[in-house]
């Protein structure tokens, strides 16, 4: 068995832990109530390089998997590699692909990757000029990390400008029409292996209404996706980006997450993330049959090219997020939660929960992810929503249209 140290405490990490646990001895820092049932949780700050290296020594980790973006930007992967631990996660310099949207635009321009035309603005006057140049709908992105809350898409110019003023440096770009697709690629610096494409639901309300969130649900695979879409994304986006990062002397080892729009003018990158993204991770990993630990370890060692093709189970997966009232603003915390038993076709992923005695309580904005599997998309939706109907959480809300292609 491989001893794996997994860093993080959210729904992404619980989904990763579920996929890693059957083939590894799992240690998690700091973890959550869902992960506590899969391995040993350690009260260690995942963004503290020294503390993480010390813990890796204590548990004799064969592999460290970094879940969230903050430890990556803080250089935790660099410290682990310097200490001799195989690590799945990019260096601090490579993590700037997510840590700075302006940097990501520079890399994409140099690599010839198709993306939205954008302006980097540091003053209110520059922001006003960019808003006028592109017109509505306005897309304003905080240059740095913002825990999924740094992007505003609005036709209200005043609201767009107000967001820009709160961010300091912002990236203002043209609005991209068309359906969005998320593709995860596991990378070892040279080779990249794609996972199944997925689609998430960003708005808080049914019919894509309400404010932008970190994601209210997702599904995969995409029955409507054009033939050859994954090959096109790998050829036009992922491989050129990896080549440019190598050229800069900062090879990318870890998970490169491309958020894409299929516009009337062709494929365009909306954003890069440098780690598994929720809620898509919960759906995609539910269909992966190849042991995840083998894939991530091969990436950490630079050996992805030696792996056989990934194996996937038939059917579809849908995940519905149960969020706390007030999300994505100030969520209501502390609400008690009672959960149904997991089954092979539907289960609960813990995202923002903690324990008070023997009781689960809400501790975040996105509280739970309910995953359903089925022979097709409709069957998976049925499983997810039937499981969700058994969740007792009075302070929660969810969308009723997750899994309906949009």
Which of 311, 316, 367 is CA-nearest to residue 346? 316
Contact yes or no for 86/62 (Cβ under 8 A): yes
- Global pTM reads 0.93
Place of tokens 């040993």: 40
Place of tokens 């890693």: 20
Structure tokens at 112: 């010839």
Q: Please report which helix (H) or strand (E) contains residue 387, including its range.
A: helix 377-388
Q: Can you tell me the distance from the alpha carbon of 196 to that of 182, in angstroms, rounded to the nearest whole number?
A: 9
pLDDT of residue 144: 79
Q: Can you tell me the distance from the alpha carbon of 200 to that of 282, in angstroms, rounded to the nearest whole number?
A: 11
pLDDT of residue 201: 95
Q: Where are the beta strands (DSSP E) in 313-358?
A: 316-324, 336-337, 346-350, 353-356
Domains, the chain, in order of start with CATH, read 2-89 (3.40.50.20), 117-173 (3.30.1490.20), 180-306 (3.30.470.20), 316-398 (3.90.600.10)
pLDDT of residue 153: 86
Contacts of 307 (CB under 8 A, 6+ apart): 193, 294, 295, 298
b/e code 109-122 from CB counts within 10 Å (16+ = b)? eebebbbbebbbbe
Which of 204, 124, 133 is CA-nearest to residue 166? 124
Would you give the DSSP letter of residue 400? S
Contacts of 207 (CB under 8 A, 6+ apart): 401
pLDDT of residue 130: 86
Q: Please report which helix (H) or strand (E) contains residue 97, including its range.
A: helix 96-99
Per-residue pLDDT of the chain (406 residues; tens, 9 = 90+): 899 999 999 999 999 999 999 999 999 999 999 999 999 999 999 999 999 999 999 999 999 999 999 999 999 999 999 999 999 999 999 999 998 999 999 999 999 999 998 889 888 888 888 888 888 898 888 887 765 557 888 888 888 888 888 888 888 899 888 899 999 999 999 999 999 999 999 999 999 999 889 899 999 999 999 999 999 999 999 999 999 999 999 999 999 999 999 999 999 999 999 999 999 999 999 999 999 999 999 999 999 999 999 999 999 999 999 999 999 999 999 999 999 999 999 999 999 999 999 999 999 999 999 999 999 999 999 999 999 999 999 999 999 999 987 6
Q: Dihedral sign, CA of 336, 340, 345, 347?
A: positive
């Amino acid at each position: 068995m491989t001893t794996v140290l997994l860093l993080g405490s959210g729904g992404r990490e619980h989904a990763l832990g579920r996929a890693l646990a059957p083939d590894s001895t799992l240690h998690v820092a700091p973890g959550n109530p869902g992960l506590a049932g899969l391995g040993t949780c350690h009260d260690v700050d995942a963004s503290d390089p020294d503390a993480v290296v010390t813990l890796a020594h204590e548990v004799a980790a064969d592999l460290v998997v970094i879940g969230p973006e903050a430890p990556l930007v803080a250089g935790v992967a660099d410290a682990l590699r310097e200490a001799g631990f195989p690590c799945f996660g990019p260096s601090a310099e490579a993590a700037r692909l997510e840590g700075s949207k302006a940097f990501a635009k520079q890399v994409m321009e140099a690599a010839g990757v198709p993306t939205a035309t954008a302006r980097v603005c540091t003053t209110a006057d520059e922001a006003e000029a960019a808003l006028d140049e592109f017109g509505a709908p306005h897309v304003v992105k905080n240059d740095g990390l913002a825990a999924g809350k740094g992007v505003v898409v609005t036709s209200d110019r005043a609201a767009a400008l107000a967001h820009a003023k709160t961010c300091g440096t912002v990236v203002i770009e043209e609005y991209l029409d068309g359906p969005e697709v998320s593709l995860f690629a596991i990378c070892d610096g040279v080779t990249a292996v794609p996972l199944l494409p997925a689609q998430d639901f960003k708005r808080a309300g049914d019919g894509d209404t309400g404010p932008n969130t970190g994601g209210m649900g997702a599904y995969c695979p995409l029955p409507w996706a054009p033939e050859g879409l994954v090959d096109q994304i790998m050829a036009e986006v992922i491989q050129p980006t990896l080549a440019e990062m190598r050229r800069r002397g900062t090879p990318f080892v870890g998970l490169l997450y491309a958020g894409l729009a299929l516009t009337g003018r062709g494929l365009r990158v909306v954003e890069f993330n440098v780690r598994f993204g929720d809620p898509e991770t919960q759906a995609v990993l539910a269909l992966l049959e190849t042991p995840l630990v083998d894939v991530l370890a091969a990436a950490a060692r630079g050996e992805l090219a030696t792996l056989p093709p990934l194996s996937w189970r038939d059917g579809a997966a849908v995940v519905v997020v149960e969020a706390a009232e007030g999300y994505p603003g100030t969520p209501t915390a502390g609400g008690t939660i009672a959960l149904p038993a997991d089954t092979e076709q539907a289960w609960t992923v813990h995202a923002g929960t903690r324990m008070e005695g023997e009781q689960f309580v809400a501790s975040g904005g996105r509280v739970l992810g309910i995953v359903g599997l089925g022979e097709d998309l409709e069957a998976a939706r049925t499983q997810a929503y039937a499981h969700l109907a058994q969740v007792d959480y009075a302070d929660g809300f969810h969308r009723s249209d997750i899994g309906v292609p949009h």
